[in-house]
Amino acid sequence: MAIMATVEYLGGLRTQAKHLKSGNLVVTDAPTDNNGRGEAFSPTDLVSAALCSCMMTIMGMVAEREGVDLKGLTSEVIKIMASNPRKIAEVQITFSHPGLVATDVQKQKLKNAALTCPVALSLADSVKQTVVFNF
């Protein structure tokens, strides 16, 4: 197994992760409601965004296989935190692609792909995933 990333604590509740293969950097900052500056994604923001990105990626794979042009698919992500203990309680994702050209069967395949992406299957059952598809 190879090291995928390194993460450094920069101080002031900020970290920097480096993806070793690409060199890409991701900075996290604690949110303002948890003693941070809120100047970057928080770690829980990244989990929520990663869920959405994973869903989109797997839907993209299905779309390519099905000959469906998924370009232009957008999403909105809402993260709801619980307070005791502090953790992600729910992630709400709304996908929109009003001009999507796909059959009902293809649309259902896209929905199934999203709901069974690796991140969705990796989150604890206590994290509610509410997903809406507008296409």
Mean pLDDT value of segment 6-27 = 98
Please check whether residues 25 and 62 belong to one and the same domain. Answer: no
Mean pLDDT value of segment 100-104 = 97
Task: Give me the number of domains the chain comprises.
Answer: 2
Please check whether residues 74 and 11 belong to one and the same domain. Answer: no
Q: How far apart are CA 123 and CA 57, in angstroms?
A: 17
pLDDT in tens, 80-97: 999 999 999 999 999 999
Please check whether residues 18 and 74 belong to one and the same domain. Answer: no
Please check whether residues 50 and 29 belong to one and the same domain. Answer: no
Q: How far apart are CA 109 and CA 65, in angstroms?
A: 11
Please check whether residues 28 and 94 belong to one and the same domain. Answer: no
| DSSP-H helix ranges across 25-126 | 43-66, 104-115, 118-122
Range of the domain at 126: 43-134
Please check whether residues 127 and 88 belong to one and the same domain. Answer: yes
**pLDDT of 124:** 97
Tell if the pTM clears 0.85, that is, is over it: yes
